[in-house]
Chain A
């Protein structure tokens, strides 16, 4: 039990020490935070091994909120899903902690930064280890807070401040939906404990609730509300635009929070709540479609961006879309597998990009890079490995996990085939834009500014060690889920978590008949049945699909090579002839402008009106000044009753007494 508790508490101790005593240990906080996070990593690995041996854990630590019927505990739940997240979070976090020592060296907020990333690690661990919805919500909000605090790390940059607001507000929209979902769970089931909820929710599958006059199934509503939270946190379409802007924060947090861990919380949450999601075809179809669309949407924008971090950010969004799509298809294992591999290679890409940015004196524009290979060979090779993994090239991690998702989609009926097609197109674009960046940065013409060239250098060991570790990881981690040769360890490890879920599917199907689920009824049940199974589908189709997606990725890389390895006039010409598409992609399909016009500016205008009309006129003029003026005028009128002659006063008094006493006797 202590082991489980220490995993989140060690980084928290790091946060407390670094946060409280930073005055006395300026520039030295990494001596506290880094070892504590590494200790947490070691404990996580121990827990992971325990879980692999079959020792899961589920216990309450203490009662957090005892209040009548409403009892919430702080508790720990460790199963294979949690264990895999634990290892991912602590691994990436430790490496990022180490990387930060080199990357943030000399920054005036160095110690604050360490305090916050430790706090973030704590929050994320609380989130994944929770055994009830309220604690999950606590972790959910805490990671959001840490994300905000870290995006605004350089608080003297107006862009960073704006980006942090954007992240905070868009997340709040999602979290509002999430909170409503949690409340609805409590109203429906009367408990927030995972086990109680998951065993009871099946009995509520047919319950309906009246919403704006129409009857909606409660489980559908719960699932959709929870998914709103996932949309916000995992930057899915409609609440996506905060993620690219969040790149205003320092690169280590882009790698840790906005690629590997926090943004995957949405996928983790959906996987964790699979018993609820599985009960609703509508919700599952929504999840799948939103995921697929986000994957496509993010990839189209990533094609033309010129900021190295923005490209990777949009790619993250797109890959998160893949995972969400997999969850929507019921292929939770595939989604989680991609989450784990993506966490490794995307953190690698961000850290490598950070290494380049650092070497080129904080230059982020890929048009001002080029031929950086000669300055930094280690970064070059690690970035290459990361790019290959992201593109899904054979021996690297991305290949296995992405293929798993595409394969599952292909097997899931007509609806699934359509999603598969979207996925393949996205895979092509992913390979293209990844290598566009790669070639523009490391090959091509040397466009580095003279000033930056003087300082260009390979990064120090604290930066390259995490890079190499993650690069090796992104080569190896995929083999755990290799479906062709030998055992598929990922399936074997994670399936028990989702196995209980599959048994609910027939019940869900029966309940699903109550409402019109025209959209996905066909594909969904096939996918649902596959969720917990390791194999069972034809190996030949799988191999063919693999070869196909490999060819697609290869084509993307080849195109990027043709266009960007040496400077070529073709890209400019293509942009010229499809100007509308090019401009649209470059400007993120004008989504920021749309939100600006629909939400931001009307809100600001409303605030302005409120200030000018309600505050200045109603409150200041009418209420405050009005009371003063009324009193003053009243006084001006009433003063004439004050004649100053004592006899008048005496007469009024006498008459008053006369009338009062007279009245008393009369009535």
Chain B
């Protein structure tokens, strides 16, 4: 029997990798992938706690998360293509219009 703490540590590690990816990588595609990692870390948490607490709610929530993640990726990729068409780049360091 794998203890709950193991799942939580795994989930925290994956989430941390995701955060670092979002903060440090330059390609928008990789950032989107990192966000996907963070979402899945959360999913692991949900499932782990669902099993630990013997409640089905967490399992159900994972499906919602997956749905949202799919939608998010679809929108994100669409935006990515739009940005690429306009700016000829997907490097976030060059996309710095959000300032004074």
The residues of A with any CB-CB pair to B shorter than 8 Å are 639, 642-647, 650-651, 654
Which B residues touch A654, using CB under 8 A? 19, 23
Give A645 to B96 CA distance when docked, in angstroms: 5
CB nearest neighbor in B for A645: B96
Complex Cα gap A654–B22 (Å): 10
Instruction: State the Cβ distance, A286 to closest chain B Cβ, in Å.
Output: 75
Q: List 20 A-B contacts (CB under 8 A).
A: A642-B98, A642-B100, A643-B99, A644-B97, A645-B92, A645-B93, A645-B95, A645-B96, A645-B98, A646-B92, A646-B95, A647-B22, A647-B23, A647-B24, A647-B92, A647-B93, A650-B23, A651-B23, A654-B19, A654-B23
- Chain A interface main SS type: helix
Docked Cα-Cα span, A646 to B99, in Å, equals 10
Q: Are B96 and A644 in contact (CB under 8 A)?
A: yes
Apart from A645-B92, A646-B95, A647-B22, what 7 extra A-B contacts exist at CB < 8 Å?
A639-B100, A642-B98, A642-B100, A645-B93, A647-B23, A650-B22, A650-B23
Q: List residues of B (41-100) whose CB comes within 8 Å of A's CBs.
A: 92-93, 95-100
A595 to chain B, nearest CB (A): 62
- Chain B residues near A644 (CB, 8 Å)? 96-99
Residues of chain B within 8 A of A650, CB atoms compared: 22-23
Residue of A nearest to B100 (CB): A639
B22: A residues at CB distance < 8 A: 647, 650
CA of A553 to CA of B92, assembled, Å: 111
| Complex: chain A residue closest to B22, CB-CB | A650
Interface residues of B in 3-49 (CB under 8 A from A): 19, 22-24
Complex Cα gap A197–B96 (Å): 85
Residue from B24, B92, B100 having most chain A Cβ neighbours under 10 A = B100
Q: Tell me whether B24 and A642 are in contact (CB under 8 A).
A: no
> B52 CB to closest chain A CB, in angstroms?
20
Given the complex of chains A and B, what is the CA–CA distance between A310 and B62 in angstroms?
102
The 6 residue pairs across chains A and B that have the minimum distance between CB atoms: A644-B99, A644-B96, A639-B100, A651-B23, A644-B98, A642-B99
Interface centre among A643, A646, A651 (most CB of B within 10 A): A646
- Nearest A residue to B19 via CB reads A654
Q: How far is the CB of B87 from chain A (nearest CB, A)?
A: 14
| Contact call A643/B96, Cβ cutoff below 8 A | yes
Instruction: Give complex CA distance A70, B95 in Å.
Output: 76
* Chain B residue with Cβ nearest A639: B100
In the bound complex, CA of A141 to CA of B23 (Å): 78
Chain A: minimal CB distance from B79 (Å)? 12
CB proximity of B22 to chain A, nearest CB, Å = 6
Residues of A close to B99: CB separation below 8 A: 639, 642-644
Query: Of residues B19, B23, B93, B95, which shows the largest number of chain A Cβ atoms within 10 Å of its Cβ?
Result: B23
Which residues in A have their C-beta under 8 angstroms from that of B98? Answer: 642, 644-646
Q: In the bound complex, what is the Cα–Cα distance between A645 and B25 (angstroms)?
A: 12
Q: How far is the CB of B15 from chain A (nearest CB, A)?
A: 10
Shortest distance from the beta carbon of B16 to any chain A beta carbon, whole Å: 9
Task: Specify which chain B residues have a CB less than 8 angstroms from the CB of A645 in the assembled complex.
Answer: 92-93, 95-96, 98
